[in-house]
Structure 1
Amino acid sequence: MIPPTTPRATYRFQFHKDFTFADAEALVPYLDALGISHLYASPITTARSGSTHGYDVVDPTRINPELGGEDAFRSLVAALRARDMGVIIDIVPNHMGVAGGKNAWWNDVLTHGEASEFARYFDIDRREKLVLPILGDPLAETIASSALKVEQVAGRYVLEAYGEHRLPLRDEDQATAATDDIAALIDRQHYRLASWRVANDELNWRRFFTINDLAGLRAEDPIVFDATHALYFRLYAEGLIDGVRVDHVDGLTNPAGYCRQLRARLDAIERPAEAPAGPAYIVIEKILAGGEPLAKDWAVDGTSGYDFMEQVTALLHAPGGAEPLANLWADMSGRSADFAPEELCARQELLAWQFDAQHRRCVEAFVALARSTPDCDGLTRGMLHRAIERLLWVFPVYRTYGTVEAAPSADARIREMVRQRVAEFVPPGEDMVVDRILSWLAGEGPGNAPLAAEAVRKFQQLSAPIAAKAVEDTAFYRYGRLLSRNDVGFEAARMSLDIDAFHAAMTERARDWPSAMLATATHDHKRGEDVRARLAVLSEIPDLWRSRGEHWFELAAPYADGVDPADTYMLLQTLFGAWPTNLRAANPEALSEYAERIVAWQEKALREAKLRSSWEAPDEAYETRCHDLARALLDPQRSAAFLGDITALVDLVAPAAEANSLAQVALRYTVPGVPDLYQGTETDDLSLVDPDNRRPVDYLAREQMLATASDSKVALIARLLALRRQYPALFAGGSYEPIAVAGARAEHVIAFNRVHDGKAVRCVTALRSAGRYVDEVDASDWWADTALSSGETIADLLGTSAVSVVVMDAVVS
């Protein structure tokens, strides 16, 4: 039996000041009625005031008062426990929020410098003053403009900037701070004020990705680990939580060591008799590249589900759409039909720009290592710079996990893949530099062990953010073959996943990771699960989509002057994919509301792409042209023909899109793992990237849908969760057994059994079946002779439905 701390099914809440523990407590009966076993909470520790997500933690030692504080959290847990439900919390060990002057640990470092007891907490280069890139202009100009002032707060003098930042001053300056020359006063501090524009080049502390407000923590330090985890251990010891989801585990110095330590500490805690028995449930936010395994010796239950989201989404796409949609993208946009050139360009640009300081410090670490090693005296700074740069251009995974002592065996395949990929970029005669760096990453290189550890750490903590920012947050906004294949953890270069490969992945999951999370929507997704489900239909009808897309381009032309064709085409895909259910041209108010959602997405997409606008230097004139185009297309007075045409296509593919949606649901709740339901997505999830995917949820409507079974998606979720509640051992530990399918439409159906202790659940799900609906053929005729290996025909099993899930006595073959 799986221990009670392992969830049967989770429901993710995003907590903030407008959705508190009390709000969640009121929804506990609904979650119970739906069939959820565990509430899965976004970070509950004290975050920056007004935080909408909780990852900018300023105090990890107490529960956020904006969410209701510890008393309200205890009340929520009591309501859950009364219904035999539990809590999993999201924790953030990699970084803290340092903006706004509310982080006491960071403020102490600013006040006392290296003498601060908290100096060891943050990943800071101590060879120079800590750089604070918070100014709008260079320091001299800022001082001249009187934007910096000294004021008194709670009996101490602080430096106030722009009315927003309040920075502590040294103890030695308190007596004279009010009368000192401000330039001289600033010069004496333990930090150096600078323009925000210098951060990419001069920052001397590790930040989270490219966010200057989030400072990296040194969780590898036992003192830091204890201080930042004390609250979590107490909550677990008191039976208030059952486990954790670890945010951005790849940012840590030693993810494997961290996870093992976390497991050991949690499982050594004696829980109250009334609390569910351990071991603790631990999952990690880990992006796995195609073919990259999750190490089995990390002592975790698996990932938080991005890998499954990629697999199930790819399964919905038809392989035949890859080439025609790539050609259409190239024709429409004038950009590459393939993803690889976009990824390479983005990696090159971001490494040379946003990660320049981190890159140079990585090179410096390897230079120091090389200089300490007698047989490396021929390795120059330039050689090491070029080798590291080119390795990061082609690195196929977030990072490797070797230490000075050793490297896991799985890293060897990654290093060999890197060696092959980088060959075309290495200058003549410098292959040996690449080989030497890879040997250090393998824990086999020569030289001073502490210097080697530092160099390897800097490389590993640079390769992960390069992958995240260059691929997911840049190239994914530049490449538009089919936007449903561009999401967190996805392989945009791959259009689809065949059924046998999906079966193999699920068989492996049953064997190795039966308790890993299964997600199809998250707080970080770029497009909602039902946006992806609808767009996936286009992979089945590329010719029809080309004709519609070309026609829409013509209709958009009068309003698209000065808008890049690539941005127009991605807009058209987005308008179609996220089109709200039942939205019609006769409802101008709803069209206007949709337009503003699209405009918000557009702004983020354009700035993340960094081609024609950016967060650093927004091109407001260009953005306005794009926004005007979106609003014009959604204006019934100006675009009646377009609106009529797009709604007709949305209606045409609606049955196929719904079939895809229900297939995702069926697979999420029947394959091995713990299904997670992101807030509100029990009904149509037609959301876009945040903040759109974090909008308020109408729970009253969902409660009514659940009570009346008036929504097919909600009804299917409730039915499958009821089965999981009735047969917990079968779903938690049952084997995964693929069922062979034969016949004319064998590639359009997936079937399998989950078998345990004499019982089986059989799942049969339609896939890529747009032909059933778009071609307007009779459903039973469309399936023709397609049948399971047992002889049961798909026409009889599914009829006009998309999913069949039944419980039966286990069949022993």
Structure 2
Amino acid sequence: MSGPTYRIQVRPDFDLHATADVVGYLADLGVGQLYSAPLLAATPGSTHGYDVVDHSRVNPELGGEPAFQKLRGALREAGLGLVVDIVPNHMGVAVPAANPAWWDVLRRGRESAYSRWFDIDWSAGRLRLPVLADDPAALNDLKVVNGELVYQELSFPIADGTGDGEPRAVHDRQHYQLVSWRDGPSYRRFFAVSTLVALRVEDPAVFEATHAEILRWGADGIRVDHPDGLRDPAGYLSRLRAAAKDAWLIVEKILEPGEQLPRGWPVDGTTGYDALSEVCGLFVDPTGEETFTRLAGSDRGGEAWPDVAYRSKVEVASTMLAAERSRLARLVPDVPEAAEALGELAACFGVYRSYLPSGARHLHAARAEAGRRRPDLAAALDAVTARLGDPDDELAQRFQQYTGAVMAKGVEDTAEYRYTRFVALNEVGGDVSRFGVTPRRSTDRRRCATGTGRTR
């Protein structure tokens, strides 16, 4: 890769045709490659593209294949490369009918050819879809229209031979169950977003089906969204590298202060949120720390940042991510307090996740801190920790996926909105506790840095 990379949020009102038309301008600026938002077919009307609904085609709302080829031709003529953003962790299901694979799973249940695509807890019974109003009588609003079950603006398929009778009776015969939006789903999701269902790309067949079109493009670079949500990030990245040997490969890995990218990952770097944090720190005067700390302390009753973060993570683990915690606890039926212990360990985890056997020290540190804060849970903490260190244990594998969600929702989306000592530091991948960075400490000038969800 040569020269700077310029990101364009390709979207329906600035599609691939419009993007192709500005390539000459980007070349005049000295740009080396264009970095695009996700380009696969997404939820109708999506302005971001991270809610893919069909991996087999370029998004028709962006101009489809003809517009994509127009962009590729313009880039080749101008001598620019193309970096594409891909989303291996999840798919969009806000409009069920727009996602052919999901629609088939809803219609056929476990018998669907696509049931293996999604990380569904079939042991929990019917597939729970949290779409209803928080009203016990919400199911009374169901209708059967044109052979589909309809709730407000949402439509759902009806399994063969189950469409006779009143709408509620039809609903009760489906492979899925509509529940309150406040209830958790029986599938893994992107953080707490129930309209983004998690994929099982650790399955080679799922990887192939969801990546064939992307790999056909032959992009010069690939940006991998949210690898920490995957069951086996290292295995996934190895498979992707083997399929895209010459691509510049970067990952959206959020590194905590002092944390290093896992050794052995076949990537060229991260999206550089930590580098952005250092650049931001250069513009923060360290001499102001005492004053701002005093002001923040008086505003929050003296509560320190570590306590704000811990309390927020515990809250998130036991509320908006309670469904995920319960799924974990069901894997430890012999420990009555397993759910609470798992939530405490996640709240005390100092990084987004471990990659066992690498990172086991973070689990041990979390156990020590959880024991300090909740000595009453010592027995349960010991019981679950003994299993969480085994990389072959499903509990450990799923817990690693869970801690990242607790960190993101608990710290980024909760604690950083409560602890407002100096909000410029409250950024994804930042370090709220570090007030300013000296030029001497910021020495690595070779890093990549891209915008976070907040800077965008």
TM range (shorter): over 0.9
- Give 1:280 shift: 1.0
Provide, for residues 67-108 of structure 1, a one-character-per-residue CA deviation record: whole Å limited to 9, x for no partner.
111111111111111121110100000000011121110000
Aligned to 1:315: 282
Contact 1:15 / 1:42 at 8 angstroms: preserved in 2?
Answer: yes
Q: For residue 329 of structure 2, what is the amino acid of its counterpart?
A: V
- Give the count of matched residue pairs: 454
**Structure 1 residue 35 corresponds to structure 2 residue 30:** yes
Provide, for residues 426-478 of structure 1, a one-character-per-residue CA deviation record: whole Å limited to 9, x for no partner.
325x546545544534337xxxx5xx1x1112211110011001100111111
Query: Please, what TM-score do these two structures have when normalized by structure 2?
Result: 0.95
Provide, for residues 472-498 of structure 1, a one-character-per-residue CA deviation record: whole Å limited to 9, x for no partner.
011111111111000111111221223
Q: 1:415 aligns with which of 353, 357, 363?
A: 363
Call closer, same or farther: CA 1:213–1:412 in 2, change over 3 Å: closer
Contact 1:302 / 1:517 at 8 angstroms: preserved in 2?
Answer: yes
C-alpha distance in 2, partners of 1:385/1:130?
21
Q: 2:133 aligns with which of 127, 132, 136?
A: 136
- Give 1:126 shift: 0.6
Q: How does 1:423-572 map to 2 (within 5 A)?
A: 423-427=371-375, 431=378, 433-435=380-382, 437-443=384-390, 449=392, 452=393, 454-503=394-443, 506=444, 517-519=448-450, 521-522=451-452, 524-525=453-454, 528=455
C-alpha distance in 2, partners of 1:193/1:312?
47
Q: How does 1:299-378 map to 2 (within 5 A)?
A: 299-331=266-298, 333-336=299-302, 338-367=304-333
- Give 1:381 shift: 2.3
- Give 1:232 shift: 1.1
Query: Please, what TM-score do these two structures have when normalized by structure 1?
Result: 0.54
C-alpha distance in 2, partners of 1:10/1:392?
36
Aligned to 2:343: 389
What is the Cα-based RMSD across aligned positions, in Å?
1.8
C-alpha distance in 2, partners of 1:298/1:310?
23
Contact 1:283 / 1:302 at 8 angstroms: preserved in 2?
Answer: yes
- Give 1:386 shift: 3.6
- Give 1:143 shift: 3.9
Call closer, same or farther: CA 1:432–1:142 in 2, change over 3 Å: closer
- Give 1:252 shift: 0.3
**Structure 1 residue 286 corresponds to structure 2 residue 281:** no
Contact 1:130 / 1:192 at 8 angstroms: preserved in 2?
Answer: yes
Helix, strand or coil: the match of 1:263?
A: helix
Provide, for residues 668-704 of structure 1, a one-character-per-residue CA deviation record: whole Å limited to 9, x for no partner.
xxxxxxxxxxxxxxxxxxxxxxxxx4xxxxxxxxxxx
C-alpha distance in 2, partners of 1:353/1:322?
34
Provide, for residues 373-412 of structure 1, a one-character-per-residue CA deviation record: whole Å limited to 9, x for no partner.
xxxxxxx322x3343222112111110011xxxx12xx14
**Structure 1 residue 254 corresponds to structure 2 residue 202:** no
Aligned to 1:595: none
Contact 1:400 / 1:441 at 8 angstroms: preserved in 2?
Answer: no
Aligned to 2:144: 150
Structure with the bigger percentage of helix = 1
Helix, strand or coil: the match of 1:8?
A: coil
C-alpha distance in 1, partners of 2:202/2:302?
42
Call closer, same or farther: CA 1:292–1:40 in 2, change over 3 Å: same
Call closer, same or farther: CA 1:53–1:160 in 2, change over 3 Å: same
Aligned to 2:212: 230
**Structure 1 residue 213 corresponds to structure 2 residue 203:** no
Call closer, same or farther: CA 1:195–1:437 in 2, change over 3 Å: closer
Q: Please, which runs of 5 or more residues in structure 2 have no aligned partner?
A: none
C-alpha distance in 1, partners of 2:292/2:134?
46
Identity of aligned residues (%): 39
Helix, strand or coil: the match of 2:331?
A: helix
- Give 1:335 shift: 4.2
**Structure 1 residue 54 corresponds to structure 2 residue 49:** yes
Q: For residue 517 of structure 1, what is the amino acid of its counterpart?
A: C
C-alpha distance in 2, partners of 1:121/1:89?
23
Q: 1:186 aligns with which of 166, 171, 176?
A: 171
Q: For residue 109 of structure 1, what is the amino acid of its counterpart?
A: V
C-alpha distance in 2, partners of 1:388/1:137?
28
Aligned to 1:86: 81
- Give 1:7 shift: 4.2
Call closer, same or farther: CA 1:341–1:426 in 2, change over 3 Å: closer
Q: For residue 16 of structure 1, what is the amino acid of its counterpart?
A: R
Aligned to 1:114: 110
- Give 1:314 shift: 1.7
- Give 1:417 shift: 2.9
Contact 1:337 / 1:481 at 8 angstroms: preserved in 2?
Answer: no
Aligned to 1:171: 160
Provide, for residues 316-337 of structure 1, a one-character-per-residue CA deviation record: whole Å limited to 9, x for no partner.
2222211211112233x34446
Call closer, same or farther: CA 1:49–1:386 in 2, change over 3 Å: closer
Provide, for residues 242-266 of structure 1, a one-character-per-residue CA deviation record: whole Å limited to 9, x for no partner.
1210000100001111111110122
Call closer, same or farther: CA 1:336–1:96 in 2, change over 3 Å: farther
